[in-house]
């Protein structure tokens, strides 16, 4: 397994280095940290709630990921296609899965970095009440799964785009729909079967159980299988470009 993963890990390291020296990366970090902080203290009125829970904090993650994830993934394939370097990648001794996993692991590394940098905020409010550490851990696991699945979708859409702007706008639009789709049944008179179908495709709906501190295997499988589906579709796009 180590030998099979080594090409993907090498590519992921290269991508992470490229992202790390990009000014856009630091812009994404600042935006993420500012948004989540303002969301908790201003929009959710954390101190006025007088409750020892960080659920309102994590409730903002689906919203911030709508813009953050496209910012991370937009360059992945669109820039390779624009500069023509994708043809070079496809001629190298790497499989399509190696290339896709390398890109995905680099995006996952950035998401892990964002989540790690967000930890000081929860730590700063822990002395104010008796918080459940297990619930907070579950919320972070859900945030990682949510971000990883969104990244897989963003990478797929980037592979279909000709430039970074199109990749960003397309990914943001799609994520906006599938993140907030579960809000439609509440605002519209939607039949129960249709509401259930809409909730099923909503990423934030499957994140809700994690935000409540519940590790639901159904939601866990949904995130994993959805991410694998879009990674597979990404490999099909690369294979088509390789032979076209």
Q: What is the DSSP string of 211-237?
A: HTT---HHHHHHHHHHHHHHHHHHHHH
Fill in the DSSP letter of residue 189.
Answer: -
Q: Return the number of other C-beta atoms located less than 10 Å from residue 33's C-beta.
A: 16
Lowest mean pLDDT among 14-23, 30-39, 53-62, 226-235: 14-23
CA 39/CA 33 separation, integer angstroms: 10
Evaluate whether 235 touches 101 at the Cβ level (below 8 Å). Answer: no
pLDDT band for 95, please (50, 70, 90 cuts). confident
Average pLDDT over residues 42-50: 80
CA 207/CA 60 separation, integer angstroms: 11
CA 85/CA 92 separation, integer angstroms: 11
- The answer to whether residue 235 scores a pLDDT higher than 80 is yes
Q: Return the number of other C-beta atoms located less than 10 Å from residue 173's C-beta.
A: 12
CA 63/CA 179 separation, integer angstroms: 8
pLDDT band for 85, please (50, 70, 90 cuts). confident
Evaluate whether 115 touches 69 at the Cβ level (below 8 Å). Answer: no
Evaluate whether 56 touches 62 at the Cβ level (below 8 Å). Answer: no
pLDDT band for 2, please (50, 70, 90 cuts). very low
Please provide the DSSP assignment of 119-158 as one string: THHHHHHGGGS---HHHHHHHHHHHHHHHHHHHHHHHHHH
Question: Average per-residue pLDDT in the chain?
Answer: 88
| 156-197 pLDDT tens trace | 999 998 888 999 999 999 999 999 888 876 666 778 788 888
User: pTM for the full model?
Assistant: 0.91
**Above pLDDT 90, what percent of the chain?**
52
CA 41/CA 169 separation, integer angstroms: 29
Q: Return the number of other C-beta atoms located less than 10 Å from residue 244's C-beta.
A: 5
Instruction: Give me 188's structure tokens.
Output: 């519209």
CA 208/CA 219 separation, integer angstroms: 9
The helix/strand count (H/E) of the chain reads as: 14, 0
Average pLDDT over residues 118-145: 91
CA 112/CA 65 separation, integer angstroms: 13
């Amino acid at each position: 397994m180590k030998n099979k993963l080594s090409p993907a890990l090498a590519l992921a390291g290269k991508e992470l280095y490229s992202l790390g020296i990009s000014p856009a990366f630091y812009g994404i970090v600042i935006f993420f940290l500012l948004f989540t902080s303002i969301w908790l203290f201003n929009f959710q009125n954390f101190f006025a709630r007088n409750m020892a829970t960080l659920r309102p904090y994590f409730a903002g993650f689906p919203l911030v990921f709508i813009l953050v994830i496209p910012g991370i993934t937009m360059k992945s394939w669109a820039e390779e296609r624009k500069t023509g370097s994708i043809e070079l990648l496809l001629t190298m001794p790497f499989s399509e899965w190696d290339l896709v996993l390398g890109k995905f692991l680099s995006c996952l590394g950035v998401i892990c970095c964002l989540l790690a940098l967000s930890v000081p905020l929860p730590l700063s409010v822990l002395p104010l009440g008796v918080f459940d550490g297990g619930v907070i851990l579950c919320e972070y696991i859900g945030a990682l799964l949510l971000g990883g699945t969104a990244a897989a979708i963003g990478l797929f859409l980037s592979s279909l785009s000709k430039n970074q702007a199109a990749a960003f706008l397309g990914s943001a639009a799609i994520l906006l729909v599938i993140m907030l789709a579960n809000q439609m049944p509440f605002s519209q008179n939607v039949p129960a079967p249709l509401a259930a179908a809409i909730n099923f495709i909503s990423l934030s709906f499957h994140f809700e159980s994690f935000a409540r501190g519940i590790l639901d295997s159904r939601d866990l499988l949904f995130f994993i299988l959805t991410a694998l589906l879009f990674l597979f579709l990404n490999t099909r796009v690369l294979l088509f470009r390789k032979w076209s």
